[in-house]
Amino acid sequence: MAHRRSKGRKLFITVVFMVFMVAACRAVTINDLLDRAAQRSDKLHALSTMLTQELDSHFPPIGRVIMPRPAMCHTSALQTPNDKEQALQVSESDLLSLARSLLNAWLDPLVVLLTSANTLPHPAQSSMSNKIQELKEHSKSLGDGLDILSGKMGAAAQAVSFLPYQGANDVSQDKISKLINFHFLLSCFRRDSHKIDSFLKVLRCRAAKMQPEMC
């Protein structure tokens, strides 16, 4: 009997907690959510930039010559604004949809980067591996926040384009090729993290009703 009462109390506490969390999410304004998202996306882009700089410190010159072009990134098929001026012409819902599409497209490639970083022939391999783990965590946190935000902005904001990653599960076995392919994949992520950060900051400016030139 006591066991049943204990299970009942646990269930009650769980239900109350879930109701509280739902109510808390609803109570947070779109402006607050956008501000948090912009802060997280800023950290994401800053971290990817730091990683690229670390990799550049011991990157073979030949790698810069034969590294694939940005057009080869698996997210290049998604049509996105090229600069802030173009982003300002895109609706709020579409901008959020683009940001979510880009972020979702990196779920699998980030796992590939993390796996490859563990055997990367680079003096800062351990540090880079830790930073990529941080990238995964920040990306997951940002994605959860954008999911909540999209629920407040309507159906158009919830639409997500499917951008499959068709690369290998490991960037390569050869040392030079591994560095080049790793650098390419990381540079693609850095480019996309910059886009995500830019789109969210434009959204934050609009929500705060700031003048376009202030965004």
What range does the domain containing 115 cover? 30-214
Residue 127 located in a structural domain: yes
In angstroms and rounded to an integer, the radius of gyration of the C-alpha atoms of the chain is 20
Asked if the structure places residue 107 within a domain, the reply is: yes
Confidence of residue 55 (pLDDT cuts 50, 70, 90): confident
Query: In this structure, what CATH number is given to the domain that contains residue 53?
Result: 1.20.1250.10
| Element of type H or E holding 65 | helix 61-66
In a domain, 16, yes or no: no
User: How many domains does the chain fold into?
Assistant: 1
Least confident range of 9-23, 91-105, 147-161, 186-200: 9-23
Q: Which helix (H) or strand (E) holds 145?
A: helix 125-152
pTM of the predicted model as reported, rounded to 2 decimal places: 0.82
The confidence score (pLDDT) of residue 99 equals 96
Q: Does a structural domain hold residue 17?
A: no
Strands (E) across the chain are located at: none
Residue 162 domain flag: yes
Residue 9 lies in a domain: no
Reported as a pLDDT band with limits 50, 70 and 90, residue 15 is: very low
